[in-house]
Structures are given as structure tokens and as C-alpha cells.
Amino acid sequence: MKKLMLSCALLSAMAFSVSNLKAQSTNYKPFKVDLAFGYAVPAGSGSKGGVVLAIEPKYAVNNSLTLGLRMESALTASSIEIDGESLVGDVKATGSYLLTGDYFLKETGFRPFVGAGVGLYSLAGIEIGDEDLEIGAKTKFGFAPGVGFETGHFRTGIEYNFAGKNLGANYNYLAFKIGFFLGGGKK
């Protein structure tokens, strides 16, 4: 409930800010699509790592603010061990659909940014024990703050995804992403 209230407050603040800003970016084309891939570090003990892929269409409200919709998939593994003839560990898949906002600290050239996203996380996983197998799926509400920079059409960032838990397993993860964007260049 606290996450829902925090997210509603964040979205309300973003909507209020957008209504008080210029209608569109004067330095950049208004629409762009970010494409990114990277390394995902799952939370919890025995974390191994994984991969993350993302696509995010965005609209430049002005030179400093973009709003978007991030669709991302992360596949992570923790503590996979082969002990004699048994396999122990877990594999988790997380899909997210987040409304995002990035605030750029500079308007041209090398552009560092801070951002956040709120929305839905689809959680699915397989936990393999000594003698049992658990499979579970759930959709949860979550958020993801992050930082990074853009230069030219290159983009890199670090974000922490608060995705929640399913079957007692923690689906939160830290993502290191690099990528590029189509559109959105200088006018």
C-alpha cells in the first residue's frame, strides 16, 4: 500500500511539473526509442547474475524532461549447483511495464540524467530444491530509480528495480545497461 501511495504521489508530481513546462523540446526532436541491453544483478544471497533487454519509446516534453513507457525483460539465476546427482538453485524471469521520466542535468552535449519509473512487474520463477520443484508466477506493482548519461545517440545507465517477491524469492535486481536510441536527435 505504501508503494502504491508513493507511486501515485510521484506520478501526480510529474503530471504537475509537465503541465507547467513548455510544450516541447526546442533542441531535440520530440520522439525517440531507446534500445538497451545489459547485466542484471539479482538481490539476495547466492546471487549469480543475468541479462536484461529493454525498449522504451519516449517523448521529450522539453530540453530537460522526457516521459516514456519502458518494456523490459530480465533473466537471472542464483545458486545453481550440481551436488552429486541433484540440482539446487533458482532461475527468475521478470518482465516490466513502467511509466518513466528522465530529468537531464544538461541540455546539450554530454547529458547526465536522473530518472524513475513506476508500473507493473510480471514475476516468474523456478526454484529447484533437493527433492522438490516450485514454479510460480505473479504480477506486482513496483518502481525503478536510476541514473545515467546520453551523448550523441549513445545511452548508458544504472537502475535498481524494486519488483517484489514471489514464493518467498526476491525479484529485485540492479541493472547495468548500455544502448542507443533511434530518433530524438538534434533539430
Q: In angstroms, rounded to a whole number, what is the distance separating the alpha carbons of residues 120 and 136?
A: 17
| pTM score of the predicted model | 0.80
Domain span at 38: 2-183
* DSSP string over 123-180: EEEEEE-SS-EEEEEEEEEEEEEEEEEEETTEEEEEEEEB--EETTEE--EEEEEEEE
Output the domain CATH number for residue 11: 2.40.160.20
Cβ contact 123:142 at 8 Å = no
Give the pLDDT of the chain (187 residues) as one tens digit per residue: 455 455 555 555 555 554 454 556 788 889 999 999 999 998 877 668 899 999 999 999 999 999 999 999 999 987 666 656 656 677 889 999 999 999 999 988 999 999 999 999 999 988 777 666 778 889 999 999 999 999 999 999 999 999 988 877 788 999 999 999 999 878 7
